[in-house]
Amino acid sequence: MEHAGDKVTIRRLAGQVIGLIFTLLLVSGFIFVATEVLPVDPATAALGQDATPERVAALRSAMNLDQPGINRYLEWVGGLVHGDLGSSLVSQVPVAQVVDDRLRNTLVLAVLALVIGTPIAWGLGVVAALKPNRALDVAISSSTLLMSAIPQFVVGSILVLVFAIILGWAPAVTTVPADAPVEALLSSCWLPVATLTVSWAAYLARTVRSAMIDSLASDHVRAARLAGLHDRDVLMRHALPTAMPPAIATSALYAGALIGGIVIVEAVFNYPGLGTLMVSAVQGGDLPMVQSIAMIGAVAWALVNLTADVLIAAVDPRTDA
C-alpha cells in the first residue's frame, strides 16, 4: 500500500518537473531573443565581410533568416526537443558533434569540484557550528567569507602565480585538445578544479554552518540531549538530517553561479570545455553555437535544482509526516 507521504512527494516532484519545463521554455525564448538582437548577421559571419550581397542573401534564405522570428524560434525549439542543435556557422559541423567532447570536459571539472569540495565544506561547516564564536569557528568563518568574496578569476590567477609560475608544479594553461582522453585531462586540470573547489567549498561551508547552528538550537535536538543520547548520536541522527534540507536548497541556488564560474575558469586556463567554446562562438558570431551552449547551461541548472528537490525529499524527516 502506497504511503500518503509518498503520494505527496510524487505530486511535489511532478509539480517541480512541470515548473522546470515551463522555466526552460521561458529561458529558451530569452536566449533566442538575446541572440537575435546581437549586432551580428549570421550569414555575413559565415561568409566573411568580403561576400557579395547576393551570396549573403542566398545564405540568409537557406538559413531561414528571412522568415519571421516566431517561425524560426518554433523551428529551433522543435529541433532542441528532437536533439537537433543545428549546425555551426563557422565549421558547418553539427553543433552536437562539436559540443560532445566539450560537454564531457566541462562535466569532468564540475564533478571533480563537487566531489572534492562538498565533503570539505560539510566538514568545515559542521566543525565551525559545534563551537560557535570560538577561535576555530572565527578562523573558518573568516577564511570562507574571504574565499567566497574573491572572484574566481582572481583565485585562478593566484593559483597560477603560486603553483605554475613560482613552484612550477603545473602548467599555467591547459594544452590538451578537446578530444583528449579523460586521463590526459585529469593530469592537467587540477588548477581549474582547485579554483572551482575553493569557491564552491567556501560558499557551501558557510551555508552548512548556518544550517547546523539553527538545527543544534532546535527543540527536537535539545530533547534528544535531555534524553541522554550521546553527542555523536545527537549530531548524526538529529542535527545533520535537519540541517541538510536548507543546506541543499541554498546550495542549489548557487548552482547557477557555479555554472557561470566554469565559463570564467575555463577561459582563464584555456580549458577545452563549453566555456571556451562559448567565448570563441560569441567572438566569431556563431549564433547557433551560442544558443545551444546557453540552453545546455539552462538545462544543467534545471537538473541541478531537480536533483536538489529529490535529495531534500529523501533526507527531510518532515516529508514522512
pLDDT digits (tens, 9 = 90+) for 37-93: 766 666 776 666 677 777 777 877 777 777 777 888 888 888 888 888 887 877 778
State residue 321's pLDDT score.
Answer: 44
Burial label for 157, CB within 10 Å (0-12, 13-18, 19+), is middle
Integer CA distances (angstroms), 317 to 109, 279, 304, in order: 33, 44, 21
Q: What pTM value is reported for the model? A: 0.79
The type of residue at 305 is N
Domains of the chain: 96-320 (1.10.3720.10)
Residue partners of 224: CB distance under 8 A and separation at least 6: 233, 234, 237, 238
Quote the CA–CA distance of 95 and 79 in Å, as a whole number.
12
DSSP string, 149-195: HS-HHHHHHHHIIIIIIIS--S-SS--S-TT--HHHHHTT-HHHHHH
Q: Retrieve residue 303's grid coordinates.
A: 537538473
Beta strands (DSSP E) in 49-156 are none
Segments of the chain scoring below 70 in pLDDT: 1-9, 38-42, 45-49, 253, 255-257, 260, 313-321
Integer CA distances (angstroms), 167 to 59, 114, 175, 188, 242, in order: 52, 26, 19, 15, 44
